[in-house]
Chains A and B, each alone.
Chain A
Amino acid sequence: SQTIHQWPATLVQPVGSPLSLECTVEGTSNPNLYWYRQAAGRGLQLLFYSVGIGQISSEVPQNLSASRPQDRQFILSSKKLLLSDSGFYLCAWIAGYTDTQYFGPGTRLTVL
């Protein structure tokens, strides 16, 4: 069966510090991968998606970036965090032969 992991589960970082969030998927190959952000009291915002290794599409211009160094690994990064980067970050995947997107448990990021 397929599983998706995210870490860390929670993170508190000072403004201006770097960020690296990791997402890995098991039990499938060549999935589409997604990063979403959910700010407090708001809906889901798609940040990045990837259809293959090294292929990243950005939905919202900001100080975040994403990378996909391996087929089932998706990384969200920032060189300098802003207060507005606080939120709940969700990774998701979908297999090409289905229409259902599966979400990871999320990372709660607080920037102080």
Chain B
Amino acid sequence: GDSVTQMEGPVTLSEEAFLTINCTYTATGYPSLFWYVQYPGEGLQLLLKATKADDKGSNKGFEATYRKETTSFHLEKGSVQVSDSAVYFCALRYGGSQGNLIFGKGTKLSVKP
């Protein structure tokens, strides 16, 4: 079945460091891909998304490119801030807009000043 695999956390970085959180997926078709962020004690918020191969999603300095050839959607940010500390979830939706989201297990990011 369809699945999403994220790198294990937690990830601890210093402020202004470069961030990469790896995400790969297994899908039988061409899903849309998402990154959600969960700040402490809150629900999930959509961070960015890409709906087809080679699309790049971007928001708040974060970027991810839909790579069909490597079935990946890695999240990157050039310079992290303390306020980026959160749990990041990679997800896919297959089966059109009515399909269910399939989430990775989440990666906790802690950014130290």
Contacts and interface: CB of A to CB of B under 8 A. Distances in A.
Interface of A: 6, 32, 34, 42-44, 46, 49, 51, 90, 92, 94, 96-106, 108
Kindly state the interface size class of chain B when it binds its partner.
Answer: 20 to 34
B42 to A, nearest CB: 6
B74 interface: no
B107 to A, nearest CB: 10
A34 B100 contact: yes
A99 B89 contact: no
A44 B97 contact: no
Most buried by B among A44, A51, A100: A44
Nearest to B32: A99
B82 interface: no
Interface in B20-59: 32, 34, 36, 41-46, 49, 51
13 contacts: A94-B97, A94-B98, A99-B32, A99-B93, A99-B96, A101-B34, A102-B46, A103-B36, A103-B45, A104-B43, A106-B42, A106-B43, A108-B41
